Structure 1
Amino acid sequence: MKNTYLSVADELLLLLRTVKISVPAKFIRHKILSHPQAGSALSITDTLDEMGIANAVLEVDKQFITDLPLPFLAYIHSEKDGGMFRMVKDIPQTLRKTPAFLQEWTGQAVLVEENAVVPPAMLEGFHRPAGPRYALWLGIIALLALLSKLVYEQHYFWLTLLLLSFSGLAIGITIIAEKMGLSFPIAKGLCDASNNEGCDHNLRSDVSQLTSWLSIPDVVLIYFATWCVILTAGSVMSAFTGLLPALLLIAAVAIPVTIATVAYQGFFTKQWCRLCLIVTAILWMQLGVLVYGSTASHQPWLSFSTGMASLGFLFTFLAVAAAWLVIKPVLEARHEYESDYLKLLRFRKDPATFLALLTASAKREITPMPYELQLGNADAPIQLMMICAPFCAPCARAHHILHALLENNDAYGLTIRFTYNSHAADEKANQAIEYLLQQAAYLRQSAGSKEAASAGLRQLLHEWYNHMDADKFKQAYPPVALQNTEALLGAHESWWKRYSIRYTPTIHINGWELPDKFNIADLPYYLRNSDIIEKIAIDPHRHTSLFANKQV
């Protein structure tokens, strides 16, 4: 199967888990697939940088491959499969499994640090919901209970059929997922590009599509799901009368189809789909088990119970088919929506798109006012400004994102301005703003250095936006000697009214307002891009330092 962006994400995920870094698969796939250069080495390193994981891309002579620390991602390229990344954790094993590895390896390798910790806040929303996991475990427990019942009752014949049917159902689901472009571990192991590309070719061929709304993979899924329903119901109720002859007849009907699919792969496409071959093997094993069981069975072939069992299978098949044909369009629509959304993200995260929209937005004067509340490096070429309100949940989220950006990084400066309104009917917000500025002024006076003042101001805002509760905040920051903040409050009010700030938080980057088409959460990604920084960087001498004024 040809390499896809998804396989790059899966290889990176495998690498991270090998070095004991726990990250949800959904997070890695989202980051790789939404990158403007999805599937490239840059998409990998940008994702690692965003997570705060130290990494390096090396290009070495192939003869020194044994000197590389393991594990690593190797970039290999061949005329047949194109370019792809592959995780290498055991060089001799890799060479045994893929003899052409050294010829196809370009000498490029991606290395990551081990045991790094990814900030939990970054992974919020990407963990799998607990509900489906619980449902899966309940299903597994129920299946084990059913299997135990069959073992206890010594129904080994039906036990074997049930296991084969559930195995077929699992492969059927995998085939459907593979056709939709999703990634299942079992499919990755069986249809890896270095071993076999027949899965992709055969599953997407015109022959596999029976009608515009039904394909052979659909029939496989429906067929095995029907077997699972029939055998589960029979096992629960211990009602197997007339079932054996009916199932033997149905299994026999499926055999010519398997012969046709094998012939098609062997003589026409000349490429083997391993998933398809496993389905064929399961169908033949089903027939074999049923033939063996029929030799010891005394059930009559032509009887009322056999006819009823056959009708039951037919109606169950139709019911399962109807259910699947209702569910399938919903799944396809959701997958198409996610695919289109990722394409839109790739466009939006393109540095050229960001620069064009940013520099076309309103540009405002952001030179710091005297005694401004500043954090980070006031002389950095990238100056951010956040206009916020004290009781604003989105402002709290933006605060955490921007402060994480400033952490151990002197490439940015951040100025905080509040939407103080002297004519507001509710004084609660104004009182909170004034108290925050009082505390900030006191911190600037009492701090012994720029670094201490910046750290203190950051902690002050962090404490406020963690709770946004005046009483709790006053417990952590008791009242101090009154500071003169009237001029700064008036300047804040005059500034936001002058520029008609409509909502909070509003972010400015070197004076340009961040367009509402971009998320604040994406700022760290954009501001790591050297092209963006080079084009919007400003003269640091225009800015007033944090300690430009000593007295308040």
Structure 2
Amino acid sequence: MSIATLFASKKENDLFKTCHYLLKKLQVNVTHTGLSETLQRHVEYPSLLAIKDTLFEYGIESGAIEKGVHSYDAFETPFICSIQQEGWPIACFTLVTSTTAEHIEYLDPITEKPISIPVADFEQIDKHIILLLDTTAPRDEAHFVENSKKQRNHMLTKRVPVFLVLAAILLAGGYILSQPVGMQTWYGLGYLLSAFLGLVVSSLLIWNEIDAHNPFIKEVCGGKSKKLSCNAVLSSSKASLMGISWSVWGFTFFATFFTTQVLFPANTSFMLMWSVLSLLVAPYILFSIYYQWKVVRQWCPLCLAVQAVLAVNALMAVGCLPGTPAFITAIAPYTMAAILFTGLFFLLLTNMAIPQLKDARDGKSYEKRWKKLRYNPEIFQALLDKSDRVTIPVDHLGIVVGNPQATHEIIKVCNPYCGPCSKVHPELEHIIKTNPDVRIRIIFTATGEDTDKRTPPVAHLLAIQQKYGHEKVQLALDDWYLAPHKDYEAFAQKYPMNGELQEQQEKIFAMRDWCNDMKIRATPTIYINGRELPDSYRVNELRNFF
């Protein structure tokens, strides 16, 4: 796998590419942001289960099987499988788009282009686990419009720093070329470009210090080569000075160099000062090469790139200094002060930022492990068993939505005008839509008295269930809870009744008595299979169990 290819495809992994390619092929409206977030918040990410559950969000049902002795053309395409070619550190998911007895066409997870190879060749790289797909009823991404705006803002935020750096280089370069052309012009351009290249390479060294396990960094640093290893060099005993790693020193040097070249392009005083500094650091080139060659006996490609840039700077410095008479007096005190304080700023900033970035990286890792523990069904059930249980039967109480014969029942005790109850409604709706073995029982806290404003909408919802059944009342619940304003008069006009409202009072009284006996003090109160939802869990987390 080449570095260029890896860099071009590092932004998104194979799970994202596979799902995105499939959804686009099915003409589903999907955003990078929405798909990526859905995949990454899955407890088992990255895995085939994460793909399966993510595609379900887009209306695509699936099932995983072992290929066994079956031929590929026996399976309906498209389907998802896992492949690993020689030289790949891990297997990658791919989408098979068509199969014949001789050839198979699939999405290359690296280039993101469909390719066709003989079945025998594909058999050698396939892991023989296939995710069959039902693509008959795909649906667009939920909150597609909102996610599209979020994605545009995110992309703009990410690109602004790149555009600013490029603009700074072009402006500085343009200013240099606008001056009378001479040796100072070419040295100025040379320093500007070398400072930029040094900044890029030293930034990769900082990235390596923060996340040495990143696939792109690992490939840049030699991949599986036994002679190339950035970590072996950068973690050695001589890889620091005054307790600060050479990566930080290098980044500070080039960040300061680049900043001053952009702010003071082809400035004689700054060019002379950097010429002196370039010659002063030149001995480090020999030290670094000798240290990697004879002591560590491994090479750091990024370190060698830094030495190459330093060597170019030193050569330009040799040419720049002799042609300048009395060059020492030409270096203004302001120049030295500007370089000194800019360097101190970058040194302190980098030293403070690296631990924070490491903590952020580790925090994501710990969060992932914590979620796997938190969403373990056995642990969740153990906590449920310790919580308060429903001691009074709920048969024939409230409104039931979902499959009436479902094994699992979630009880939601709510107030029709309760804001938090409205917020959990779509979460519970999602559960019953994605899991036919779960039903929701809604019990209201209305008193049934005429003076209670909760009574009319509750009576109306009960009447809709009585007159039209579970499916109609489910739509009515959506109309009520998802409305931005709870307007009972408008709701009643949409679902007219002829005397059914007067038949609901006993049902409301029964729910009121149940709530009083169960000592319901807040809404919504959630029970899972007769046990109250533990305080440490939220309703939106229930989708991890159902």
TM-score (norm 1): 0.73
The residue aligned with 2:492 is 477
Mapped pair 1:10 → 2:36: no
Candidates 180, 198, 217, aligned match of 2:210: 180
1:202 Cα deviation (Å)?
A: 3.4
Query: Once the 2 structures are TM-superposed, how far is the Cα of residue 357 of structure 1 from its aligned partner?
Result: 1.3
What is the deviation of 1:437? 2.5
What are the equivalent positions in structure 2 for 1:102-501 lying under 5 Å apart? 106-108=127-129, 117-120=140-143, 130=153, 133-134=156-157, 136-137=159-160, 140-141=163-164, 143-144=166-167, 147-151=170-174, 153-154=176-177, 155=185, 157-181=187-211, 187=217, 190=220, 201-202=231-232, 205-207=235-237, 210=240, 214-235=244-265, 240-266=267-293, 272-291=299-318, 298=324, 300-305=326-331, 309-365=335-391, 368-370=394-396, 372-407=398-433, 409-421=435-447, 430-431=452-453, 433-447=454-468, 453-467=469-483, 469-471=485-487, 473-478=488-493, 480-481=497-498, 482-501=501-520
Q: In the TM superposition, what is the alpha-carbon distance from 1:30 to its structure 2 partner?
A: 3.8
Question: Structure 2 vs 1, CA of residues 89 and 121 (structure 1 numbering), >3 Å: closer, same or farther?
Answer: closer
State which drifts further: 118-127 or 483-492: 118-127
Give the aligned residue type for 2:108: D
1:74 and 2:77 matched: no
Total equivalences in the alignment: 500
Deviations 1:382-415 (A, max 9, x none): 1111112223333222111111222265322111
By how many angstroms is 1:489 displaced? 1.8
Mapping 1:15-26, distance limit 5 Å: 15-19=18-22, 20=24, 22-24=31-33
Matches within 5 A, 1:38-117: 39-49=46-56, 53-55=60-62, 57=64, 59-60=66-67, 74=82, 76=84, 84-85=91-92, 89-90=107-108, 106-108=127-129, 117=140
Q: Distance in 2 between matches of 1:101 and 1:259?
A: 49
Find the aligned partners of 1:332 and 1:92 in 2 and give their Cα distance.
28
- Residues 76 and 104 in structure 1, CA contact (< 8 A), matched pair in contact too: yes
Contact 2:459 2:504 in 1 (8 A): yes
Task: After superposing the two structures, state which structure 1 stretch, 80-89 or 315-324, moved more.
Answer: 80-89
What runs of 5+ residues in structure 2 fail to find an aligned partner?
A: 2-9, 25-29, 95-105, 178-184
Q: Distance in 1 between matches of 2:230 and 2:62?
A: 33
Q: CA deviation at 1:477?
A: 3.2
SS where residue 74 of structure 1 aligns? strand
Change over 3 Å in CA distance of 1:29–1:514 after alignment to 2 = same
Q: Distance in 1 between matches of 2:419 and 2:234?
A: 47
- Provide the C-alpha distance between the structure 1 equivalents of 2:382 and 2:286, rounded to a whole number of angstroms: 58
Change (3 A) 1:419 1:310: same
SS in structure 1 at match of 2:41 = helix
Report the Cα offset of residue 502 of structure 1: 3.9
Query: In the TM superposition, what is the alpha-carbon distance from 1:282 to its structure 2 partner?
Result: 3.6
Tell me by how many angstroms 1:348 deviates. Answer: 0.2
How far did 1:144 drift? 1.2
Distance in structure 2 (CA, Å) of the matches to 1:108 and 1:185? 24
**Aligned-pair RMSD on alpha carbons?**
4.6
Q: Is the 8 A contact 1:187 1:275 kept in 2?
A: no
1:31 aligned to 2:41?
A: yes
Please report how far the alpha carbon of residue 377 of structure 1 lies from its aligned counterpart in structure 2 after TM superposition.
0.7
Alpha-carbon spacing, 1:364–1:91, altered in 2? closer, same or farther (3 Å): closer
Q: What is aligned with 2:181?
A: none
User: Cα distance, 1:208 vs. partner?
Assistant: 7.1
Q: Distance in 2 between matches of 1:498 and 1:278?
A: 75
Evaluate the alpha carbon distance shift between residue 304 and residue 506 of structure 1 in structure 2; reply closer, same or farther with a 3 A threshold.
Answer: same
**Aligned with 1:403: secondary structure?**
helix
Unaligned runs of 5+ in 1: 2-6, 448-452, 528-552
**Are the equivalent residues in 2 in contact too, given 1:376–1:412 (CA < 8 A)?**
yes
Is the alpha carbon distance of 1:284 and 1:66 closer, same or farther for their aligned partners in structure 2, counting shifts above 3 Å?
farther
- Any conservation in 2 of the 1:246–1:307 contact (CA below 8 Å)? no
1:223 to 1:477, Cα distance in 2 relative to 1, 3 A: farther
Deviation readout 1:261-313 (Å, 9 max, x if unpaired): 45555555555544444434443444455556568x54643224166534532
- Cα distance, 1:103–1:194 mapped onto 2, change above 3 Å: farther
2:532 and 2:267 map into 1 onto residues whose CA distance is 72
In 2, are the aligned partners of 1:150 and 1:159 still within 8 Å (CA)?
A: yes
Q: Bigger relative contact order, structure 1 or 2, given CA contacts below 8 A and separation 6+? A: 1
1:375–1:414 CA contact under 8 A, matched in 2: yes
Q: SS at 1:386's partner residue?
A: strand
Shift of 1:416: 0.8
> Hey, what's the Cα distance between the residues in 1 that align with 2:242 and 2:392?
59
1:57–1:110 CA contact under 8 A, matched in 2: yes
In the alignment, is residue 511 of structure 1 matched against residue 526 of structure 2?
A: no
Q: Tell me, in whole angstroms, the C-alpha distance in 1 between the residues paired with 2:47 and 2:152.
A: 30
Matched, 1:523 2:542: yes
SS, match of residue 267 in structure 2? coil
Question: Whole-Å Cα distance in 1 between the matches of residues 148 and 542 of structure 2?
Answer: 18
In the alignment, the residues of structure 1 paired with residue 403 and residue 383 of structure 2 have an alpha-carbon distance, to the nearest angstrom, of 26
Aligned partner letter, 2:489: K
Decide which moves more: 8-17 or 455-464: 8-17
Distance 2:186 2:228 in 1: 36
C-alpha displacement at 1:509, in angstroms? Answer: 1.8
Distance verdict in 2 for CA 1:505–1:277, change over 3 Å: farther
Q: Are the structure 2 counterparts of residues 192 and 210 from structure 1 closer, same or farther at C-alpha, using a change threshold of 3 Å?
A: closer
Over the matched positions of the two proteins, sequence identity in percent amounts to 21
Quick one: structure 1 residues 274 and 84, their matched pair in 2 at CA, closer, same or farther if it must change by over 3 Å?
farther
| Counterparts of 1:288 and 1:72, CA distance in 2 | 55
Give the TM-score normalised by structure 2.
Answer: 0.74
In the alignment, the residues of structure 1 paired with residue 419 and residue 72 of structure 2 have an alpha-carbon distance, to the nearest angstrom, of 51
Determine if contact 2:275/2:320 at 8 Å carries over to the other structure: no
Larger mean CA deviation between 503-512 and 209-218 belongs to 209-218
Secondary structure of the corresponding residue to residue 119 of structure 1:
coil
Q: Tell me, yes or no, if the aligned pair for 2:321 and 2:327 is still in contact at 8 Å.
A: no
Query: Could you tell me how far 1:379 is from its partner in structure 2?
Result: 0.9
Secondary structure at the residue paired with 2:526?
strand
Q: Which amino acid aligns with 1:464?
A: W
